Amino acid sequence: MDRPPGPLPKEKMKAVLEASVREFAEHGYAKASTNRITKGAGISKGLLFHYFGNKKNLYLYTLDACVENYLQYLSVHLKDLSPDLLERMLEISGIKIKMFMETPLMYRLVASAFTDPPWELKEEICARQNRIYSKQVPLILKDIDKSMFREDINHEKAIQLVLAAMEALSRRHTAAFRERADGGLAELPKIIDDLKEYVDILKYGIYTGRKRKELSLPE
Amino acid sequence: MDRPPGPLPKEKMKAVLEASVREFAEHGYAKASTNRITKGAGISKGLLFHYFGNKKNLYLYTLDACVENYLQYLSVHLKDLSPDLLERMLEISGIKIKMFMETPLMYRLVASAFTDPPWELKEEICARQNRIYSKQVPLILKDIDKSMFREDINHEKAIQLVLAAMEALSRRHTAAFRERADGGLAELPKIIDDLKEYVDILKYGIYTGRKRKELSLPE
Amino acid sequence: MDRPPGPLPKEKMKAVLEASVREFAEHGYAKASTNRITKGAGISKGLLFHYFGNKKNLYLYTLDACVENYLQYLSVHLKDLSPDLLERMLEISGIKIKMFMETPLMYRLVASAFTDPPWELKEEICARQNRIYSKQVPLILKDIDKSMFREDINHEKAIQLVLAAMEALSRRHTAAFRERADGGLAELPKIIDDLKEYVDILKYGIYTGRKRKELSLPE
Amino acid sequence: MDRPPGPLPKEKMKAVLEASVREFAEHGYAKASTNRITKGAGISKGLLFHYFGNKKNLYLYTLDACVENYLQYLSVHLKDLSPDLLERMLEISGIKIKMFMETPLMYRLVASAFTDPPWELKEEICARQNRIYSKQVPLILKDIDKSMFREDINHEKAIQLVLAAMEALSRRHTAAFRERADGGLAELPKIIDDLKEYVDILKYGIYTGRKRKELSLPE
DNA sequence: TATGAATGAGGGTTCATTCAT
DNA sequence: GATGAATGAACCCTCATTCAT
């Protein structure tokens, strides 16, 4: 971000951001058109480049806004989380899926930026990814009750396994909802119930028998 | 898909395919240039479109070749698989990672086609994805010894969980190796060892205690 | 017509002609595609150019076939024509409109060739136009009873006037029927009735009072 | 027609229009090259499409300019017209032929647009045609002295007949002058004399005997 | 601050025609 | 006779970016 886009009036800023998110989310970085963005935002071409310098910057700025929004959303909803890692992961997955349903374009922009970075932006995007990780992981792992974990397994590995599994399972659900204009929110409980079943299986592998009993799972 | 690209001389066909795979894998569908492909393949623009009609067809044809190669590779290496689901998943993951290391461009093309389909090709790509699934899943699940599974969990869910987890964990390793020209093959054993640890954890969750003992895992 | 397309088997010839007429009529010379013609005729590109040399020749050949067909049609139907010029013009107009309705593509090809010749074919087309005129005009004027004409007007001019008027009036009707697949034939009588009214008016201008009376027109 | 081509500097606008008229008139819509137009107008490819969006728009805009010019020319010269329909048609035909000789390219563009519309522009062109008709017909028919008309013929039909005949006869003269750089103007009087003879014949058919006498035509 | 005219290389695609087989 | 692979120029159009105003 060479050019700090400070003094651009908030209203216009918002219009640009909205148009940008839509354009980049719908067409991807490569095929996104700055022309359409200016038209969508109702500003002139000159102004866009005056403030953002070039397409790359604009994309990065847009991505940052989405990431910020993402982190903000998480931090707002991540209250009173369970000390049980798997329960917490369930809660977090629910939050993420909800977020995806509420702001699908933003979510999609971030997701595609990370899974398929636009090549010439790899480095910059990677930095954002690390930033998210460094902010997200502590959020997820803070005050986890590790006494529940089996002692004969690598705790770090166990956590990574859970993260990976939940991420992959969640994606399967979100993938189906693309473009289905917010109609999906009603199905959120069903999705979470589904995830819950997977979580229960994971519990067998990760928690001690004693804990499992407390959680009243069948031995 | 009007024109079956059959009779194009093998040598040229191969050149086109190679150039196509490289171009699409490196730049993505949107930014791939048919100009560069023709140049790379050493043929004229006219010929490319004479055979493939348009960019979409060319991409689909290229993708199909990669998918075919993928399935071929799997079917060749998937011999004498363990009846133990998790051991088998480990074997399969090893095969896939090896494949990725040997033909990273092809792998990448397929992967990005499925995770981030080029929008106007969604339907066609989805069909390919289903085809892979319908061929791959039976391969993975055939003759699995389900007697090892705990009876108090949903077997289908357990399998999906394992698939999802292994997929996500594998991706983390492959993501790092992009473009590191085959130098990675040496690290394959280390990677598999790493995955093995995750697999062990999953075993706790999925297999019965008796079976786990037979496998001589610590109780 | 550099290359006499003699030895091409009749069946193929017919297929080519049909495809050619359709293509040239629907797209015009400029936008017609020899590719589509070969596809439509079911022959190879090589053969088409082997026989016709180039697009120009093919067009000219196709045009000639249509012109021939036109003249043939006229000569077949132009029997027992009225000696009264205006009645005869009515009959002829009816024939032409019928021809247009029966073979709209051919008619359209010829018409557009003459009204808007493809520039680089101007000369060749002009020659065809003259050929049609030189064959058509005698047909129309043969054995006309000029005794009906007023003596105080230029007979040649009168004839030209009638020709021009009928041509323009007919065009107005055919223009409306483009692409309405043969449905128009039913309306032919109505069209002729309409033209008849114009003819009646012309009679006042051209024929002598005595003749008009004989024709039982109101004085 | 997204972009109103208003604010383009007059000089450039004029250059584009001139080049456009020439290109479209000489090659027709299908074969006209935007490349040649930009070159002829001395502007960049980008600018042409910045202003006109696409070839279709450019053509339509060019056509509109010609139509406007046509109507303008008519309205300027259509002063003090005779109340006699046929005399007036003679005057108007003279004006049109003069216009054709002075701006043959514009005239040709309009004429070919109407007689042979470029298919994908049929609707838009038809609208222009209707516009011309709705402006032109009142001009032609205003304050016509219908008392001159025979009472035993359909006045509307008579008018249409005259229009059609004059149009067809005029075309025969203009057709010959294509591309003969304005040299034709000298022959205008001869052409009008020629048309006059046809008009005289029409008078017999349309006007009453009394009126004809007043006009001192031979009975 | 804000505009939008201006660029020209490059995009995918179609074309009539040739020629070795 | 008959094929269709092969060509490369030309097609219309889009692009991110610059800059005089």
| pLDDT by position in tens, chain B (length 219) | 444 555 667 788 999 999 999 999 999 999 999 999 999 999 999 999 999 999 999 999 999 999 999 999 988 988 888 888 889 989 999 998 888 888 999 999 999 999 889 888 999 999 999 999 898 888 888 888 888 887 878 888 888 888 899 988 888 887 766 555 555 777 888 889 999 988 888 887 666 655 555 555 554
Count of residues making up chain B: 219
Neighbouring C-beta atoms of residue A213, cutoff 10 Å: 12
pLDDT of residue C1: 44
The two three-digit tokens of residue B15, written as one number: 């050149």
Q: How confident is the model at residue C5 (pLDDT cuts 50, 70, 90)?
A: low
Q: Residue A179 carries which side chain, given as an amino acid letter? A: E
List CB contacts of D55: < 8 A, sequence separation 6 or more: D29, D32, D34
- What is the CB-side half-sphere exposure of residue C157 using CA atoms within 13 A? 17
Q: Quick one: three-class SS letters along A85-115?
A: HHHHHHHHHHHHHHHHHHCHHHHHHHHHHHH
pLDDT of residue B113: 93
Find the mean pLDDT for residues A40-63.
93
pLDDT at A173 over 50: yes
CA–CA min distance D6, chain C (Å): 32
Selecting from C112, C158, C198 the residue whose C-beta is nearest the C-beta of D201 gives C158
User: pLDDT tens digits for D97-143?
Assistant: 888 888 999 999 999 999 888 888 999 999 999 999 898 888 888 88
Query: Taking CA A128 as the corner, what is the angle to CA A126 and CA A133, rounded to the nearest 5 degrees?
Result: 95
Does the nearest atom of strand F lie within 7 Å of A26's Cβ?
no
Residues D67/D132, Cβ–Cβ less than 8 Å? yes
Element (H, E) at A167: helix A155-177
Cα–Cα nearest to D196, from D51, D93, D98: D93
For tokens 């969990």, what's the residue?
B153
User: pLDDT tens digits for C104-148?
Assistant: 999 999 999 998 888 889 899 999 999 988 888 888 888 888 888
User: pLDDT tens digits for B147-200?
Assistant: 888 787 888 888 888 889 998 888 888 776 655 555 577 788 888 999 998 888
Question: Which D residues 32-61 have CB within 7 Å of strand F?
Answer: 32-36, 45-46, 49-50, 53-56
Distance CA C93, CA C196 (A): 10
Beta strands per DSSP E along chain B = none
Selecting from A164, A172, A201 the residue whose C-beta is nearest the C-beta of B153 gives A201
pLDDT of residue C216: 52
Find the mean pLDDT for residues A55-65.
95
Distance CA D110, CA A96 (A): 62
Distance B26 CA to F19 C1' (A): 35
Question: Which B residues 9-38 have CB within 7 Å of strand E?
Answer: 32-36
Nucleotides of E under 7 A from a protein CB: 1-20
The two three-digit tokens of residue B127, written as one number: 């069909």
Chain centroid, CA D208 distance in Å:
31
pLDDT at C83 over 70: yes
Does the nearest atom of strand E lie within 7 Å of C106's Cβ?
no
pLDDT of residue A219: 45
Cα–Cα nearest to C58, from C88, C38, C87: C38
Q: Which candidate in A114, A123, A151, A204 is best for mutational testing of the B interface (most B CBs within 10 A)?
A: A204
Q: Residue B79 carries which side chain, given as an amino acid letter? A: K
CA dihedral D97, D100, D101, D102 (to 10 degrees): 120
Q: Which candidate in C31, C170, C219 is best for mutational testing of the D interface (most D CBs within 10 A)?
A: C31
For tokens 């070749």, what's the residue?
B65
Does the nearest atom of strand E lie within 7 Å of D43's Cβ?
yes
For tokens 């109780």, what's the residue?
B219
Selecting from D150, D153, D164 the residue whose C-beta is nearest the C-beta of C168 gives D164
Residues C11/C19, Cβ–Cβ less than 8 Å? no
Ranges of chain D with pLDDT below 50? 1-3, 219
pLDDT of residue B1: 42
Find the mean pLDDT for residues C84-89.
88
Domain layout of chain C by residue ranges: 65-214
Distance CA D66, CA D68 (A): 5
